[in-house]
Amino acid sequence: MKKIEIITRTFKLDEVKTALSGIGVKGMTVNEVKGFGRQGGHKEVYRGAEYQVDFVPKIKIDVVVEDDFASEVVAAATKAAQTGQVGDGKIFVSPVDEVVRIRTGETGEEAI
């Protein structure tokens, strides 16, 4: 099985969720994160002193899926999250050895 981590803009959450649901993803886990990258941050001012804030709010969506479903999920997420502007984010795919559904104790692809 694969874990797909989608890091993208916060306001894209709904669109990505809908896209993934649409192709049959049944579950995902979302996290508010801060990203550092080419997009750059912004200036903040505090009583006349300027600070550069390098981190931009992003969301990270983790989805674990069967091996052969992974590329479809990646494609759907890419499509839904893309704006074409710097800062759209990344998708990371990594191996998962085992999945357990806590409620039932099921394991493997059954458990996803």
Partner 1 sequence: MNFVDNAFILICAALVMFMTPGLALFYGGLVRSKNVLATIMQSFIMLGLVSVLWAICGYSLAFGTDIGGLIGGLDFVFLNGVGMDNAGSPAENLPHLTFMIFQCMFAVITPALISGAFAERMKFGGFMVFSALWLLLVYAPLCHWVWGGGWMGEMGALDFAGGAVVHMSSGAAALCCCILIGKRKGHGSTAFIPHNLPMTILGAGILWFGWFGFNAGSALAADGIAANAFVTTHMATAAAALSWLVAEWAHGGKATTLGAASGAVAGLVAITPAAGFVTPMWAIVIGFGAGFICYGGIMLKNKLGYDDALDVVGIHGLGGTFGALATGVFATIGAEGLIAGNAEQLWIQFVSVVATWGFSFVMTFIIFKAVDKTIGLKATDEEQDRGMDIAEHSETGYQW
Ligand X SMILES: Nc1ncnc2c1ncn2[C@@H]1O[C@H](COP(=O)(O)OP(=O)(O)O)[C@@H](O)[C@H]1O
Write down the least CB distance from residue 66 to partner 1, Å. Answer: 31
Q: Closer CB to partner 1, residue 10 or residue 71?
A: 10
Nearest-angstrom CA–CA distance, 42 and 8: 18
Write down the least CB distance from residue 13 to partner 1, Å. Answer: 10
Structure tokens at 68: 């052969």
Please give the residues from 49 up to 88 whose contact with a copy of itself meets the rule CB under 8 A. 54-55, 58, 60, 64, 74, 77-78, 81-88
Q: Which residues contact 105 (CB under 8 A, 6 or more apart)?
A: none
Query: Reduced to 3 states, what is the DSSP secondary structure of residue 105?
Result: coil
How far does Cα 88 stand from its chain's mean position?
Answer: 11
Nearest-angstrom CA–CA distance, 10 and 71: 23
Q: Closer CB to partner 1, residue 31 or residue 107?
A: 31
The yes or no reply on residue 101 touching ligand X (CB under 6 A) is yes
Q: Say which entry of ligand X, a copy of itself, partner 1, none residue 31 contacts (CB below 5 to 8 A, set by partner kind).
A: a copy of itself
Residue 54 has phi, psi (to 5 degrees) of -85, -15
Residues that bind ligand X (CB under 6 A): 7, 26-29, 35-39, 56, 58, 62-64, 86-90, 101, 103, 112
